[in-house]
Structure formats: structure tokens, C-alpha cells
Amino acid sequence: MEYNFTIEKGNFTGAGKASSDVKKILKQLDINPSIIKRVVVALFEAEINVVAHAESGNVYVTINDEKISMIVEDIGPGIKDIEMAMKEGYSTASQKVREMGFGAGMGLPNIKKNTDDFTITSELNKGTHLEMSVFIR
């Protein structure tokens, strides 16, 4: 099964739609709740990063008998220093984003903690590409 979602810049109200929809799908498939939680946390964090930092983004989710695969790619400024961005507490979020309760610098670390496979690539002034998987079995 494959699903696609679009993420809009600055749309914090719509942020989480993809993770919410995927959660419903996984529940209908009777996936273990602990697996669902990991998928939802990783996907939500990725969505928030796109909303907070990029011009636009897309989410692609593939579900099969072995794993849930997610690709989140955006068009945006890219990440200057991925190693720093992976450190808990490091954030480049604007003051406005922080005032809304986001931008604490836990997004990428939480994604990595909640996935079995995680790859991130980024090109300055082009965007960022995440590939994540959570194994079902």
C-alpha cells in the first residue's frame, strides 16, 4: 500500500495530518500499538520540520508485511550541518516557531530514536530528504 501527502510551509494547523492518517491506517491493519507510536512520532516530527523550515514538502508512505517505509522530502534551505542538527537541543527554528511550542531541537533525534532505519541527506538552498523505516516483524 502506498500513500502520499503534501506539507505546506507554515501550516502548523495542518501539520500532523499525514501522521494522523497513517495512524488510522495502521490501526485498521491491526499493527502493534508500539509500532504505530514509533511511526507516528517519527512522521510527525518530520512534518513539523518541513512546516517550520521549508517552502513545501511531500510525504510518501509504503506499508508492506515487513515494514513501514516513509520518505519525507522538502524544498527549502537545506541543513547546513547535519551532524549538529542531529544533536538534542540544537535548533535553527525562528523565534516565532519557538513561541508556538516547536523548535526545541528534538525533531531529528526523535526521528532517529523511533525508526529502525534512518537516512538524511540535504543540499543547501535545495532541500532535505529523509528515508525512514520501522520494521513490523
C-alpha separations of 26 from 30, 68, 77, 104 in Å = 6, 9, 32, 28
Homologous superfamily (CATH) of 2-135 is: Histidine kinase-like ATPase, C-terminal domain (3.30.565.10)
One-letter amino acid for residue 58 of the chain: N
Contact 54, 128 (CB under 8 A): yes
pLDDT tens, N- to C-terminus, the chain (137 residues): 999 999 998 888 888 899 999 999 999 999 999 999 999 999 999 999 999 889 999 999 999 999 999 999 999 999 999 998 888 777 777 777 776 667 666 789 999 999 999 999 999 999 999 999 999 97
So what's the pLDDT on residue 41?
96
C-alpha separations of 132 from 6, 39, 83 in Å = 17, 9, 17
So what's the pLDDT on residue 118?
97
For the chain, the domains span 2-135
DSSP the chain: -EEEEEEETT-TTTTTHHHHHHHHHHHHTT--HHHHHHHHHHHHHHHHHHHHH-SEEEEEEEE-SSEEEEEEEEESS--S-HHHHTSTT-----HHHHHTT--SS-HHHHHHHH-SEEEEEEETTTEEEEEEEEE--
pTM for this predicted structure: 0.90
